[in-house]
Amino acid sequence: MYVGRIVSVARTTDGRLCGVYRVSSRSFPNRSALVGKDKVSIVPKAGHEGDVLKNPYIAYNCVRVVRNGDVAVVTNGSQTDVIAEKIENGMPALDAVALASLMLDYEKDAYNTPRISAVVDKSSGAGWLGIVRHDGLQVERIPLEFGRLYYVATYEESTVCAQRCIEFPVKTAEEACDFILGRDVFAERDNPVTAVAAMAADYSFTLMAKDAPTTGG
């Protein structure tokens, strides 16, 4: 089943908060994630830079860490920066996600791609998921249970609800990337391209990016 991009919030079995993002794409698979200081960016791979002229939505910051390392924002588009800046300036996470979703709306591409957003806050132990579609807006505070992950996707699984909650048996940011790329229910979600994880550390978050394995033949 193809569900497009996926964002999630989770808590490990030892209590660390985590935000995880997966790029899945049928039209623009030649992308990767670049880890920088307190951010991760989705960019075209070398030789495919011209893809941004075909679709301006395919390159963006997908992760920002703000509030002195307490908050990680994880999304599928340019709303990452808006949400991060509002939270950095003191706006509550729920309000920041809702405002950015209203401001930017769903993506005006051929598929009316929803904007999906996740926030985890180490200082409060809380997480949020949000989505804005062509037919509605939803932002929810998520009960971050030990060893559980909640997710929302751009297509098919495009509502925040209790049914999108699964076990999260990982311990590291790298394992979180592997998990969303191809384990549990995500093994049945088609066209993985790359994954990004922001895992809470003693200071700030550990950021990790990992491309999906390529298949030969």
Query: Please, are residues 105 and 73 in contact by the beta-carbon 8 Å criterion?
Result: no
pLDDT at residue 166, as a whole number: 98
Q: What are phi and psi of 85, to 5 degrees?
A: -70, -35
pLDDT at residue 3, as a whole number: 98
Tell me which residue has tokens 């003191």. Answer: 90
Instruction: Choose among 63, 82, 87: nearest CA to 73.
Output: 63
Task: Tell me the two tokens of residue 107.
Answer: 């993506």
* Cβ neighbours of 22 (radius 10 Å): 28
pLDDT at residue 134, as a whole number: 95
Residue 214: which pLDDT band, with cuts at 50, 70 and 90? confident
Q: pLDDT, tens digit, for every residue of 126-181?
A: 999 999 999 999 999 999 999 999 999 999 999 999 999 999 999 999 999 999 99
Which domains are seen in the chain, by residue range?
6-211 (3.60.20.20)
Helix axes 79-88, 93-104, angle to 10 degrees: 140
Q: pLDDT, tens digit, for every residue of 24-71?
A: 999 999 999 999 999 999 999 999 999 999 999 999 999 999 999 999
pLDDT at 190 over 70: yes
| Whole-angstrom distance, CA of residue 72 vs CA of residue 64 | 6
What integer is the mean pLDDT of 192-209? 97
pLDDT at residue 216, as a whole number: 39
CA 135 from centre of chain: 21
